[in-house]
Structures are given as C-alpha cells and as structure tokens.
C-alpha cells in the first residue's frame, strides 16, 4: 500500500419460549432437552440474587418505522454532488452469526448485502428470531436496487421474507443454490409476492443501478458461497461473507484466491471480512482429515450409524453418502431441512447419489444393522429435531438400540452445551457408541482461523480493513491480525456498534459519529415487531416469578369490599398447599380497602386506579417479605 495515501479519520461514536416428554427416567429432571431458564439451576438465595437484567431500549423499542427510526435516516446522508459511498451495518457487528445485513448507499441509490435472522437470547422468552431493522431506509425504499446474497445460511437469508415486501420486492442476486433455497423459503410465506431471484455465479459481473457488482467463489460449509465486490467511483468494497481455506475440500472447490488477488490488484478501498475465528490460532481442519476419520468410524462400526449434522453441510453429506456406498450401507435421511437441502443439491448436481442408495426409514428394519446409515438433524439437541424424536422414542420407525453408533459431525453452538451433553448422556444410557468433534477431527468449521485470516489479508491487500461478522472482541482481534501483516493501525476500522455509518471516498474511509437506528425487530409467531421491551420484561417476570391474580368484588357506590377476594396463582406458589399464605393475602386486601375507604370517605366515587395500585404495591411488598419473590400481580375489580 502507498504510505502517502490519506489516512482514515476515526471518530468515537456517541453513547447512547404441555409438558416436555423428555427421555430421562421420571426421577431425573429432563431439563437438558428444553432451552429454558430452568437450565441454569436452582437459586440458592433469592434475597441476594443479582438484579434482573435491564433491557436496552435499542433492543426492544417497537412500533411503526416512524417510531423506531427516531434517529437519523440514511436519506439524510445522501450527497448527490459528492463522490461518497455510505456503508452501514444493520446487523452482524455486535453478534456472531446473527441478522447479517450491510446497507450500501451511493448518490441516493441503495444495495443491501444479506438479510439474516438472529436467534433469541436467553432473556427473550417466546421470541422465534430477530430480523434487521430497516427503518433507517425510510424514504429510500424504492431506491433499493437489489439485495446481494453471499450464501444461504439463515443468518444471511432468513429475514428476506419479512424485508422484501417492505422494500417493494427488489431483485435478489445469489448463487444457484442460494436462489433455490430462497424460493423454497417463500413457501412458508404464501401471502408474500414471489421473490424476484437473479442467479449470480462466481465470476459474473453485473450492473445494479450505479453499482458494478462482481462475485468470487469462496469455500464455506454450504455450497455456492460468494464473496461480493461492489464498485462505485467513490471506492470499492469487498465483502467476504463467510468463508474458509482448505487445501483439499474433497467435494468442493477451494476459495478462489487467484481471483481475490486480481480483485485486490485492481484496488479494494475497504475489505469487510469474517471475524468468527479470529480467536482461534493456526489453520482450519481440512475436509480430507474429516473424511479419513469418518472412514475409521465406518470401518469399526458393526451396528447402525446415525450421523447428525447441520442440514446445510452438503459437502459433508456427500462424504457420508460416499462412505455409505463404500461400506455397503443404505441411507435413511430424516429431518425436513436436510431432505430439502439434499433434494436441491441433487437437482443442481452438487451431490451424486447412486440409484437405490436412499431408502425410507420403514425399510431400514429389513436390513442388517451394519447395512444402515441414518443422516439426521439434531446435532444441537434442537427440540423437535429428528435425532431428538429418535432418542425420545417419538419417531415412528427409528429408535436407538445397543450397538448403534452416533456421530456428531458439527461444532457446539454456544448456549447449547448442557442440552447436548444431556443428549449424549441419554444416548449412552440407551447403549450407543458416541463420537464427537472433541474426541477426533470429524468436523471442520466453515470459518477461517488466524492464519487463514492473514492469508486473505495478504491476498487482497486492501487500503482499509473493516473486520465484520462478529462481536467487538472478535473484530478487535481480527484488526490486530491485520496489523501483523502490515496494515497500519489507523487503517483498521472498528465500528463500535451496528448502525454506525462509514463514509467511503477515493482512498479514504471515515468512521463517522452518525449511528442509524438498529433496534431488535422480534418475530413471535405471526407478529413482527410487536414484541418489545415491556412485553419481554413481563414474560421474564412470568417465567421467573409467576403471576397472582386477585379478583375483588367492590360496591359500586361506596367502594366497600364485597365478600372474600378470589386468588389465582400460576408459577408462584400452589395456593391450595399454602392456606396460611392465601388467608394472609386476603387479609392484606381487606386492609387495603379499609385504609382506602377511610381516605376516600368524602369522595362520591371510589377511585379504581388508586385501589388497584395500592393492592398491587401492598401485595408486592407482602409477597417479597414472605417468599423473597416478586410475582406479577394483577388486581381485577368487579363492581357490584
């Protein structure tokens, strides 16, 4: 790089879900098979427990786009008479594997790169997933020229069905596998307009509005992953998406370093690169090593083999199909997503399946155990997945039997550790032999490690570097790796958060103080964006403390208590077993009415709002004194 090229101008940003039918015997808790708060164990001292986590308003503010976009809008940054391009991370800069979305603006025209979902955190009960907030695009919806898709993982395409209708259904550019999966996804949203997908292959170059867009092949854990180049007169950016290096990927092509080098030689103003593995030293494991270790398991196994893996790992699926052919095993495929992806891959000729190899699960019982391989979902112990149904004896045809082998050919997603350990424990209780990636190399990550990251930086040689796809810790480490290969510290750009705007001009990248709104848009069933801070806090209280409903009859004219209150409790205490607490609760309500009546004896109409507040507050203090718990309290006043 030319040391005389103007340096970056970096400015600090402003501050601103019936009972579970688990496999464990009745005397054991079946907590390992549900992702819920009870997984964290029993509280030893409720009085001294840490305070409930407060919600950040940026995570929960919901409503219309106008309400959410209380901050600046992208249209406010448009400079039609200047050569400047704005790049805004609408997701992917504060999380690893969640709601990835980059907005690129040039002279009022907009491109989006990816539109993914993020799965909910522990303190978001009932939320299905979270999508990027595009409220900052208000006023530019009709100027969105297209959405560029790097690959078809859900954290990169999962939000398209929600976002496309709000943007006028712009074209979606992606590789053949990605576009096929996007079209399949549309079947879940029949009321939406059909997505306008455009096949965009590695090596293609297209004009999208004022943007020149080029695609380059990259190896990942799903077929047809792309790195995407966007060129304007203001500068060139390269978004690697998710990628990895592998000298022998077995059934896939290597990352196209030669094309990446040529792109770099032509000039890359800013490289946006995957930071997921920035804390992992060395190089990634080769798929050749994985194949050789899987073959050792096949050679040693005399019973059925169950291989559980991510449904998008088509390269790994092809390896397992090849091993099944080599060791004369027929294959059962269980799990909707793995069947769907395999069908698409066969249609596109990405995998080869010998005729008669795949059989229905019902036919597997006619074969000797040593002649059966089951490919299934459930490596993360997901509730309702194929492996979970098999383990719980809920599957119509398949059950674990002594002598079976179970292979976990995947990494453990953070937060799933206990559920997966419990799954392994019960597999062992049922007599299965278990193999996982911590015992031997039977999984290769789809993301680069430190030496791979350095190789990408040396290959592209960008003027400026923006680590992305990771939380700040990973991005910071990635930035240090960039300095090790010669990129100056001031040329490493580290946005503090999603929404922080980058300005790109010829040979210059500026991290501005402008932060666009990037609230959590939560999807709960059919509701999109209608679950916010207040709803989540209420759900947390219900999950942690329970609810008490006091049904109180009150005289219409005098405000006097009529009869005895009815107390309903759920998740707090079982009132029929707590007679004294129930009686004391009713007494407390009578006291409230006695005090209220004395206070309002001159009032002609009783103040319902005041009475409800006093009942709520007094019962809240009373319950905490007696139980060290703070249930949600709802007084219901019935005038008679």
Q: Are the beta carbons of 310 and 318 closer than 8 angstroms?
A: no
DSSP class of residue 640?
-
Asked if residue 528 has pLDDT above 80, the reply is: no
- Give pLDDT, residue 238: 99
- Across 514-523, average pLDDT: 89
Look at strands 144-148 and 109-113 and give their pairing: parallel
Gap between the Cα atoms of 207 and 213, Å rounded: 6
DSSP class of residue 51?
P
- Give pLDDT, residue 462: 98
CATH 3.10.20.580 domain position(s) in the chain: 545-639
Digit-coded pLDDT (tens) for 338-349: 999 999 999 999
Q: How far is CA 1 from the centre of its chain?
A: 37
Q: Are the beta carbons of 465 and 487 closer than 8 angstroms?
A: yes
Digit-coded pLDDT (tens) for 246-259: 999 998 999 999 99
Digit-coded pLDDT (tens) for 423-464: 999 999 999 999 999 999 999 999 999 999 999 999 999 999
Q: Pick the catalytic residue: 274, 404, 524, 544?
A: 274
- Give pLDDT, residue 627: 83
CATH 3.60.15.10 domain position(s) in the chain: 73-282+446-528
Digit-coded pLDDT (tens) for 49-75: 333 334 343 444 444 454 455 679 999
Digit-coded pLDDT (tens) for 276-332: 999 999 999 999 999 999 999 999 999 999 999 999 999 999 999 999 999 999 999
Q: Pick the catalytic residue: 447, 468, 469, 474?
A: 447
- Give pLDDT, residue 571: 79
Match domain 73-282+446-528 to its CATH number in 3.60.15.10, 3.90.79.10, 3.40.50.300, 3.40.50.2300.
Answer: 3.60.15.10
* % of residues, the chain, pLDDT over 90: 63
CATH 3.40.50.10710 domain position(s) in the chain: 287-436
Query: Can you tell me which residue has the tokens 């022998």?
Result: 248
Non-local CB neighbours of 108 within 8 Å, separated by 6+ positions: 75, 78, 80, 140, 143
Asked if residue 363 has pLDDT above 90, the reply is: yes
Non-local CB neighbours of 258 within 8 Å, separated by 6+ positions: none
- Give pLDDT, residue 85: 98
Asked if residue 354 has pLDDT above 60, the reply is: yes
* % of residues, the chain, pLDDT over 70: 83
Average pLDDT, the chain: 85
- Give pLDDT, residue 638: 84
Question: b/e per residue, 81-111, with b = 16+ CB within 10 A?
Answer: eeebbbbbbbbbbbbbbbbbbbbbbbbbbbb
Q: Which of 206-215, 306-315, 521-530 has the lowest mean pLDDT?
A: 521-530
Q: Are the beta carbons of 411 and 309 closer than 8 angstroms?
A: no
Give the CATH fold of the 545-639 domain.
Ubiquitin-like (UB roll) (3.10.20)
**HSE-up (13 A, CA, CB side) for residue 375:** 30
Digit-coded pLDDT (tens) for 478-505: 999 999 999 999 999 999 999 999 999 9
- Give pLDDT, residue 55: 39
Nearest Cα residue to 542 out of 631, 617, 613, 621:
631
- Give pLDDT, residue 530: 54
pLDDT band (50, 70, 90) for residue 535: low
- Which two structure tokens, joined as six digits, stand for 629? 């718990």
Gap between the Cα atoms of 133 and 497, Å rounded: 14
- 364 or 563: which carries more pLDDT confidence? 364
- Give pLDDT, residue 160: 96
CA dihedral for 369, 370, 376, 380, sign (positive or negative): positive
- Give pLDDT, residue 70: 63
Gap between the Cα atoms of 124 and 130, Å rounded: 10
Asked if residue 524 has pLDDT above 90, the reply is: no
DSSP class of residue 266?
H
- Give pLDDT, residue 536: 66
- Across 372-397, average pLDDT: 95
Nearest Cα residue to 245 out of 231, 264, 265, 225:
225
Asked if residue 221 has pLDDT above 90, the reply is: yes
Asked if residue 98 has pLDDT above 70, the reply is: yes
pLDDT band (50, 70, 90) for residue 241: very high
Cβ neighbours of 388 (radius 10 Å): 23
For this structure, is 65 an active site residue? Answer: no
Asked if residue 398 has pLDDT above 90, the reply is: yes
Cβ neighbours of 223 (radius 10 Å): 27
- Which two structure tokens, joined as six digits, stand for 437? 């990636």
Dihedrals phi, psi of 378, to nearest 5 degrees: 115, 10
- Give pLDDT, residue 464: 99
Gap between the Cα atoms of 298 and 618, Å rounded: 66
- Give pLDDT, residue 575: 66
pLDDT band (50, 70, 90) for residue 606: low
pLDDT band (50, 70, 90) for residue 577: low
Q: State the architecture of 287-436 in CATH terms.
A: 3-Layer(aba) Sandwich (3.40)
Nearest Cα residue to 74 out of 501, 504, 511:
501
H helices present in 124-277, as ranges:
154-157, 160-163, 176-186, 257-266
For this structure, is 425 an active site residue? Answer: no
- Give pLDDT, residue 26: 35
Non-local CB neighbours of 274 within 8 Å, separated by 6+ positions: 240, 241, 242, 243, 447, 448, 468, 469, 470
- Across 525-539, average pLDDT: 63
Digit-coded pLDDT (tens) for 162-199: 999 999 999 999 999 999 999 998 888 888 999 999 99
Cβ neighbours of 363 (radius 10 Å): 12
Report in angstroms the alpha-carbon separations of 72 from 91, 313, 583. 17, 40, 56
Query: Can you tell me which residue has the tokens 């219309």?
Result: 64
Asked if residue 613 has pLDDT above 80, the reply is: yes
């Amino acid at each position: 790089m030319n040391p005389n090229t103007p340096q970056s101008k970096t400015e600090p940003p402003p501050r601103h879900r019936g009972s579970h039918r688990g496999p464990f015997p009745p005397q054991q808790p079946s907590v390992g098979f549900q992702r819920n708060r009870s997984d964290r164990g029993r509280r030893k001292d409720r009085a001294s427990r840490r305070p409930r986590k407060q919600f950040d308003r940026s995570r929960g503010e919901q409503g219309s786009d106008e309400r959410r976009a209380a901050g600046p809008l992208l249209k406010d940054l448009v400079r039609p008479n200047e050569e400047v391009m704005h790049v805004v991370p609408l997701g992917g800069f504060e999380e690893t594997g969640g709601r990835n979305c980059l907005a690129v603006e040039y002279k009022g025209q907009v491109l989006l790169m990816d539109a993914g979902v993020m799965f909910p955190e522990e303190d978001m009960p009932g939320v299905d997933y979270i999508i990027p907030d595009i409220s900052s695009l208000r006023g530019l919806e009709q100027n969105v020229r297209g959405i560029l898709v790097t690959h078809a993982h859900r954290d990169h395409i999962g939000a398209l069905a929600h976002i496309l209708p709000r943007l006028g259904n712009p074209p979606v550019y992606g590789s053949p596998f990605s576009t096929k999966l996007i079209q399949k996804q549309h079947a879940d949203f029949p009321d939406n307009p059909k997505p306008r997908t455009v096949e965009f292959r590695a090596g293609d170059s297209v004009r999208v509005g004022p943007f020149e867009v080029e695609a380059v092949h990259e190896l990942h854990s799903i077929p047809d992953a792309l790195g995407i180049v966007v060129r304007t007169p203001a500068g060139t950016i390269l978004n690697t998406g998710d990628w990895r290096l592998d000298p022998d990927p077995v059934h896939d092509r290597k990352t196209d370093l030669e094309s990446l080098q040529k792109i770099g030689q032509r000039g890359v103003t800013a490289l946006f690169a995957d930071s997921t593995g920035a804390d992992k030293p060395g190089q990634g494991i080769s798929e050749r090593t994985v194949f050789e270790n899987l073959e050792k398991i096949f050679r040693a196994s005399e019973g059925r083999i169950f291989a559980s893996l991510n449904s998008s790992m088509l390269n790994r699926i092809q390896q397992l199909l090849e091993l099944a052919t080599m060791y004369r095993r027929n294959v059962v495929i269980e799990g909707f997503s793995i069947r769907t992806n395999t069908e698409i891959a066969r249609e596109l000729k990405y995998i080869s399946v010998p005729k008669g190899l795949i059989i229905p699960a019902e036919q597997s019982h006619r074969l000797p155990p040593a002649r059966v391989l089951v490919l299934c979902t459930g490596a993360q112990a997901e509730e309702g997945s194929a492996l979970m149904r098999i383990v719980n004896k809920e599957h119509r045809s398949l059950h674990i039997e002594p002598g079976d082998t179970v292979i976990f050919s995947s990494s453990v997603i953070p937060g799933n550790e206990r559920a997966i350990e419990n799954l392994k424990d019960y597999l062992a209780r049922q007599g299965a032999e278990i193999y996982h990636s911590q015992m031997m190399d039977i999984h290769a990550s789809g993301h680069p490690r430190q030496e791979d990251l350095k190789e990408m930086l040396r290959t592209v040689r960008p003027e400026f570097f923006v680590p992305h796809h990771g939380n700040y810790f990973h991005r910071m480490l990635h930035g240090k790796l960039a300095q090790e290969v010669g990129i100056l510290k001031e040329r490493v750009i580290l946005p503090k958060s999603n929404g922080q705007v980058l300005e790109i001009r010829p040979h210059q990248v500026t991290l501005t103080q402008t932060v666009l709104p990037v609230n959590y848009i939560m999807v709960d069933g059919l509701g999109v964006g209608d679950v916010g801070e207040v709803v989540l806090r209420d759900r947390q209280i219900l999950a942690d403390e329970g609810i008490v409903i006091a049904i109180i009859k009150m005289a219409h004219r005098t405000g006097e208590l009529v009869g005895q209150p009815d107390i309903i409790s759920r998740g707090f205490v079982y009132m029929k077993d707590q007679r004294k607490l129930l009686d004391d609760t009713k007494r407390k309500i009578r006291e409230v009415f006695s005090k209220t009546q004395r206070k309002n004896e001159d009032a002609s109409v009783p103040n319902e709002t005041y009475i409800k507040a006093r009942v709520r507050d007094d019962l809240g203090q009373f319950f905490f004194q007696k139980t060290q718990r703070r249930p949600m309290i709802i007084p219901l006043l019935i005038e008679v």
